[in-house]
Amino acid sequence: MITVYIVILLALIMAIFGIIGYQRGIWPEVVSLVVLLASFTVVEKSPQRLIDYMNGLFIGMMLVLKSGLNDLNAGDLESAAHKLKAVEPPFVGGQKGFALAVVMVVMAIIGYVLGRWIKSKKSVFGAALGILNGYILSAAFLPWLSGLSGSDLPVPLIREGEGLVTETGRQAGEAAAKLTLPTVLEWLSLEGGLPLVLLIALLAIFAVWRMRPKKA
Amino acid sequence: MSQIEYFWIIIVLLFGVVGIVRTYSRELGVTTMCVAALLLLLQFGDKILMVLQDHFADDFPWLISPRFAAGFYVVVFLIVVFISYQGITLVFKGSAPKGAVSHLLGLIVGLLNGYFIAGTVWFYLHRYDYPLGLVDGSDLSDVAQRIIQYLPPRIFEPQLGYLLGLLLVLLILSVWR
């Protein structure tokens, strides 16, 4: 069962990325989308290879920190091998997902930094692309973070799935459906939507009335 | 179970956030264009489709498919929305003063735009039984089916005169200040 909190978290991440996307505009978001999609494909299709690389990178770094390079320079291969064996690969078992999440976050940062080179004006479609970026990033790391199945957050052509189904949401929806129709909605849709039209017109009149004339 | 209603609500909320950021003087321009596009689609959409199908369906049989019909309405509407946000923008004269009331108005008008945009797209996808295949129309929740009763084309279709009146009011207001 997926809690409604996961849905809220997903919506929150997508909303934040949507706002960032709006501020950045279309083209920087396209760059981020391409980078994210490419890295998501690699993460999805060859996760074990990526985890091996990450473990190798970590072990190599630890070897350098433990002055293993000095041993190699000095020709002391046995000592270097001993130090190498002493380093435990960090991304094993339940931590494998962490490696993939790190890769996705790093690639997301790279994508967003690359996007900074491109000048673009604020755009609602940048917001839409930002939402998409937020979803892809969430699809990569939320399953690991929350214990979701990957198929709960499908990405067409890359990851198949059935979509997010929330037991809590379903129950809430059914409960809401049993309620009588909200009177206000019924009223707004009366007479071909006349009350709704009047409400929108009044709102627009009030909004324009509050505006200041533009300075010449 | 498809969760299209959650998706729809999230999209509408996001348009609300966009409304706050863009300020309501710009958002009212989008509202005007949405009303105009909806009016045109409701008044002429079926007629245009019929003309296309009558004249070209022999050569292009896919013109009579529900996928084309849904695509026609959705694409035409989204093109108008795209232009009103990105291209030739109808910005109301005057500038919105700073303050909480302006942010609130931006939110409300943004939500209204989200309702028009996401609502119209959903309505036409539903009308043609979700031909893009992303949603199973027979598996909608009761909540989704109730929301569909209040989508813009469903509400305004019986009396297009009201929508025309609203469009005139908005156009007059756009040059008021």
Does residue A163 contact residue B134 with C-beta atoms inside 8 Å? no
∠ at Cα A137 (A113, B27), nearest 5°?
75
Q: Which domain holds residue B146?
A: 4-174
pLDDT at B136: 76
∠ at Cα A26 (A14, B174), nearest 5°?
95
CA distance B59 to chain A (A): 32
Between CA A211 and CA B27 the distance in angstroms is: 13
CA distance A113 to chain B (A): 23
Q: How many CB pairs under 8 A join A and B?
A: 136
Identify which has the larger pLDDT, A75 or A216: A75
Separation in Å, CA B48 to CA A139, A163, B37, B73, B74: 41, 36, 14, 10, 14
B26 interaction partners in chain A (CB closer than 8 Å): none
Question: How many structural domains compose chain B?
Answer: 1
Residues 6+ apart with CB under 8 A from A96: A47, A51
Most confident of A106-110, A203-207, A210-214, B110-114: B110-114
pLDDT, one tens digit per residue, over A65-117 is 877 777 777 877 788 777 777 888 878 777 777 778 888 888 888 888 888 88
CA distance A15 to chain B (A): 7
Q: Indicate the pLDDT class of residue A3, thresholds 50, 70 and 90.
A: low
pLDDT, one tens digit per residue, over A139-191 is 887 777 766 666 677 777 677 665 555 555 555 555 555 544 556 667 777 77
- Is this structure's pTM higher than 0.90? no
pLDDT, one tens digit per residue, over A19-66 is 888 888 888 888 889 988 888 888 888 888 888 888 888 888 887 887
B165 touches chain A (CB under 8 A): yes
Mean pLDDT for chain B?
86
Distance of CA B82 to the CA centre of its chain: 11
Helix (H, G, I), strand (E, B) or coil at A155: strand
∠ at Cα B98 (B96, B104), nearest 5°?
80
pLDDT, one tens digit per residue, over B25-41 is 888 999 999 999 999 99
Does residue B114 contact residue B30 with C-beta atoms inside 8 Å? no
C-beta atoms of B24 and A131 within 8 A: no
